[in-house]
Chains A and B, each alone.
Chain A
């Protein structure tokens, strides 16, 4: 887990992964990279933290991994969201939005 974010983000990091594999399958490196890019560098995952999370998600059948081999390339494992994953994502999103909102409120009150 990255050191730039506090513990409150940790438990909800799964939603980031689910959101990223919502529309298409991605491999592990791509997922980590996208999280870092889209968060403007605020969120960063190490190998040591990213994969256990992916496996946990797979174990809970929220995503499913599949090896894909292309000629001349090393095989890659692509993850895609499952139906259960979509359901969990939707409910997470709502809860997450509440949380962000709460954060925003607290944060903006502090900054005034």
Chain B
């Protein structure tokens, strides 16, 4: 064994010189090379090499020395002598470094367009959908009403003691007693929603309006923008005054200030315009245009004539509960005092709940679904970033080897994550804007026209946007730092070589499996909700409405008269209608009704049936009450089971006639033929209304919506009893909308001041009636598609990752003879574990969550096994397909290539 001592160092200088014959010589360079050779030689010797071996190794490096020398000389000669000042130590500028990181991050994201697009789109969908739905819900449920100190505003109702959940509108005498006896109210008001015909120099129009008590405007705390409102003295009949909306003021008066004091024809009578409300005044529906004094009439004086809505403003110190208790106590006293009030009390609700209580299930269901979509989106972005993290292990190892510090790497990842989130956020704002507009427009009228809501749709709520964006950004930034976990755990050198992947990234595998499971579970919940809604709506559409909507055109006409419910002033309305409209070519039948089935309106009446005993007031007979013109049943295809339709002979002077539906016939004449039986309006034993005779029985119609049961219905001829507005029904031989214009002209010919509004088909009416369910179904369906897509992307990403991690193993297996099918099976089996776990958790979750759909479902149970089974199958198949693609790719791995990589 040779003695490896430095003393025996070869004479490197001589060696170098010997190789530099005929070459320029730079002494400095020779010194440098000699020094290098020396160190190299010593290093070889220290590593246990023999001197000859070490010397040979050093000599092997000394090739091309003349070239080196020439290069050195050239370099030295033309050396740039403008070396600048060396930088001061510690002159690190974090801001510019961050800017540089951001610019670098942007380039990196641009270099991975598909990853960036998917991540940004995912974030945008989550942020956009959430912001849109939250904004609408906020506008509908949470935003305060547009009145000063609106939290003090309450609605007053009558209520049956036996049925406290369904309060109803009030009678004037009761309201007057409440107001007198209560000490809780600062202001109280009463009003009735009506339609009015406006006429004058312009086109006649029908508008919504109210007759109101003087207290209404002070109670709301809003003053007119012009003129004044009513005084209490003007509440008595005989004051032809009108307060108009900003819209009417602009339309009919050109926004002229001198409109105050002028007269306008309201329901055919001149009224003095005394005030103009401000443009933003919405009470309680957005389309109110005129307000006239309440002018209580004889009918209003009846304690059982429930016609009015009532509201009050609580005194500042009075709580809602205290006021409610006081009103209930008053209601109990009145019940004891008046026989008409038997079984009835009074109650309070918050004005802000008005009209939206019924919408809450829909809105909360959408809110829940959209929150799940946001969670899925976040999980998906996390998954995508983790996948990137494992793919970038080598990159980070190399950069760490190049001297990039941990802080620098984190800062750069942070910048990248932030950039990604920002891009997602920007796209999300765009989607939120589109979504809010689209959803607002798609809202069925039952939701869009809820009280106190603005017509233009909900504005994007900045707080909501900030919140959803914050969550998405947090996810983006948190998970973008994932590659650092890998860098911390592995040696740069081994990562660069590719051998150390498993050490650094194995920890992601478990986390990503969990994320996939979560994603599948969340998607299952959303999909199930959508599935249940689709089944519900399907069931609903299949319900027979009891009428034939095909080819039916309907339109509203107002028939105002001073005594709202007395005998009609326009006695010949039905005759004129028949004469004029029947002549229009293409019209098969024409009629009219006061409350169109599925149109949302109804009226009820207490009645007395001849010969039917009424032991207690609770046994009193009652029925839904409608007025029709002859031909109505034929136009809507409603079969007359017994007896006859009304004729023009059923006039005021003839005997009173009534037609009843099947349900009413079974309820009150179970044993006999009701034709010829007699009944009269009013349930009080002392009523003196004339008897009317049942002349016909018609088939039941789903008046109250396809999902609601039938009720007792009674029809009376319009020619005997008036109603302020009627819906004309026209059966067309062909496309009904083609008749809109000729029928409108025919109606004009009857009365030029007669506005015709809301021309639509009966199909549209039915469609609208199921809108409250169809709308959430469509949105849930859209959300569930997004959820399904995101879940599939998530599964695909994870399986691809698992396969990439196991490429070597797969290669070895295949080299050892494993068949492609076995490899596919192995990969799929491994991937199915988190998917199966997700499905199980998702089934449990969706059973719980679907209960929240509750009243939105129609004849479908929240745990409907068919729906649940179908959804599990769809989701399972999609997930399976998503793992099959990378699994098959794994099976096509060339063993040689894989093994060579090592």
A residues apposed to B, CB below 8 Å: 15-16, 19-20, 22-23, 27-29, 32-33, 38-42, 46-48, 50-52, 55-56, 58-61, 64, 67, 74-77, 80, 82-84, 86, 90, 93-94, 96-98, 100-102, 104-105, 107-108, 111-112
Contact = CB atoms under 8 A, between A and B. Distances in A.
Contact of A51 (B32, B79, B81): B32
B492 A51 contact: no
Contacts of A56: 71, 75
Interface in B492-526: 492-494, 496-498
B35 A76 contact: yes
Contact of A48 (B63, B79, B86, B901): B63
Interface in B17-58: 28-29, 31-40, 43
Contacts of B67: 48, 52
B86 A83 contact: yes
Given A16-B402, A28-B32, A47-B37, A61 B496 contact: no
Contact of A61 (B40, B80, B103, B392): B80
A39 B71 contact: no
Contacts of B800: 112
A96 B404 CA distance: 12
B38 A74 contact: yes
B388 to A, nearest CB: 10
B830 to A, nearest CB: 16
A51 B391 contact: no
A23 B37 CA distance: 25
B68 A52 contact: yes
Contacts of B61: 46-48
Contacts of A58: 75, 79
A112 to B, nearest CB: 5
Contact of A42 (B29, B399, B404, B497): B497
B878 to A, nearest CB: 22
Nearest to B402: A19
Given A47-B37, A52-B75, A112-B886, 12 more contacts: A27-B35, A40-B494, A40-B497, A41-B493, A51-B32, A55-B75, A59-B79, A83-B83, A86-B87, A97-B104, A97-B108, A101-B111
Contact of A19 (B76, B403, B803): B403
B781 to A, nearest CB: 35
B117 to A, nearest CB: 15
B402 A15 contact: yes
A52 B72 contact: yes
A55 B29 CA distance: 10
Contact of B403 (A20, A47, A86): A20
B496 A42 contact: yes
A29 B75 contact: no
B727 to A, nearest CB: 67
B232 interface: no
Nearest to B803: A112
Given A39-B496, A77-B28, A101-B108, A51 B401 contact: no
Contact of A100 (B72, B76, B82, B398): B398
Nearest to A58: B75
A76 B79 CA distance: 20
Given A58-B79, A102-B111, A112-B804, A51 B68 contact: yes
Contacts of B103: 94
Given A40-B496, A51-B33, A104 B100 contact: no
A96 B497 CA distance: 18
Closest 7 CB pairs of A and B: A40-B493, A55-B75, A59-B75, A29-B39, A52-B71, A83-B84, A46-B61
A27 B112 CA distance: 40
B84 A47 contact: no
Interface in B795-816: 800, 803-804, 807
Nearest to A94: B104
B394 interface: yes
Contacts of A39: 401, 493, 496
Contacts of B80: 59-61
A97 B399 contact: yes
Nearest to B901: A111
B107 interface: yes
A15 B403 CA distance: 11
A38 B497 CA distance: 12
B321 interface: no
Contacts of B81: 61
Contacts of A108: 391, 394, 804
B889 A112 contact: yes
B65 interface: yes
A13 to B, nearest CB: 12
A97 to B, nearest CB: 6
10 contacts: A23-B403, A27-B35, A42-B497, A48-B62, A48-B64, A55-B75, A67-B28, A74-B34, A100-B398, A105-B391
B403 A22 contact: yes
A50, A94, A97 interface centre (most CB from chain B within 10 Å):
A97
Interface in B386-407: 391-392, 394-395, 398-399, 401-404
Given A61-B82, A111-B804, A94 B403 contact: no
B62 A107 contact: no
B85 interface: yes
B65 A48 contact: yes
A104 B389 CA distance: 12
A20 to B, nearest CB: 7
Contacts of B31: 74-75, 77
B493 A98 contact: no
B78 interface: yes
Given A51-B29, A52-B72, A75-B31, A83 B85 contact: yes
Contact of B36 (A28, A60, A80): A28
A90 B412 CA distance: 14
B810 to A, nearest CB: 10
A41 B62 CA distance: 20
A61 to B, nearest CB: 5
A83 B112 CA distance: 33
Given A56-B71, A112-B889, A90 B32 contact: no
A12 B813 CA distance: 39
Nearest to B26: A55
Interface in B818-837: none
B65, B72, B103 interface centre (most CB from chain A within 10 Å):
B72
Contacts of A50: 36
B75 to A, nearest CB: 4
B84 A29 contact: no
Contacts of B394: 100, 104, 107-108
A87 B403 CA distance: 16
Contacts of B82: 61
B734 to A, nearest CB: 62
A55, A67, A98 interface centre (most CB from chain B within 10 Å):
A55
A74 B35 contact: yes
A82 B84 contact: yes
Contacts of B72: 51-52, 55
A87 to B, nearest CB: 9
Nearest to B78: A59
B40 A29 contact: yes
Contacts of A83: 83-87
Given A19-B403, A55-B75, A101 B395 contact: yes
A62 B227 CA distance: 84
A81 B28 CA distance: 20
A104 B483 CA distance: 14
A29 B12 CA distance: 15
A73 to B, nearest CB: 10
B112 A105 contact: yes
B86 A104 contact: no
A44 to B, nearest CB: 10
A22 B901 CA distance: 33
A47 B62 contact: yes
B310 to A, nearest CB: 71
B6 to A, nearest CB: 12
Nearest to A56: B75
B29, B79, B104, B403 interface centre (most CB from chain A within 10 Å):
B403
